[in-house]
Amino acid sequence: MFLNRILDEMAHVEEPGSVPTEEDAANYTVVGTLSRDLQRLYAVKVRRSMELKRYLRAEVIKHAQNEANDVADRMEVVQSPAFQLKKFECDLVGKLFWGAVRIEFPELVDKTSIGILPGWKIGWEKMQQISLGAMLAAAILGR
C-alpha cells in the first residue's frame, strides 16, 4: 500500500524540479547520471521532507497557541503517533532512494559520502580524512 502511494507520487512528478547541487563538485568522482525514475523518487523524497517540516511547524504553533510552551508539550508533538508515522514514511522514502541509487550504481555501495551534482550526475566525495562528525552525518542521513 505505502509503496503504491510512492509509485503513484512518482508517476505524477512531471518535472523533478531544480537540480540539486553540491557546493564543491570538484571533490566528487562522478559515476553516472540519475535515471528519470530516480529523479522522480528524489523529488518525492524532497517533497515528503518538506511536508514533514511543515507538519511539525504547524503542530508546534498549534500547541503554542494553546499555551503549551514548555519543552514537555513540544516533545509531545514529536512523540505523537501521527508525527512518528509521517517521519517513518519520510525516512523510508529516503532509504528507498539511496538504496535504489546504490543498486543502479554498485560502485557506490561502500561509499559514505554520495552527492547529487549539477545535471543530475551522481558521485562520491573523495575525502582525505573522515571526521567523526562526517561519519555520524553519513550514518544519520543514509548516504
pLDDT digits (tens, 9 = 90+) for 15-29: 776 666 656 678 889
Question: In this predicted structure, what is the pLDDT of residue 69?
Answer: 58
Q: Which range of residues forms the domain containing residue 92?
A: 2-141
The yes-or-no verdict on residue 104 having pLDDT over 70 is yes
One-character DSSP codes across the chain: -HHHHHHHHHHT-SS--SPP--TTGGGEEEEEE--HHHHHHHHHHHHHHHHHHHHHHHHHHHHHHTT--SHHHHHHHHHSHHHHHHHHHHHHHHHHHHHHHHHH-GGGTT-S-EEEEGGGEEEEE--SS--HHHHHHHHHHT-
Domain count, the chain: 1
> To the nearest whole percent, how much of the chain has pLDDT over 90?
38
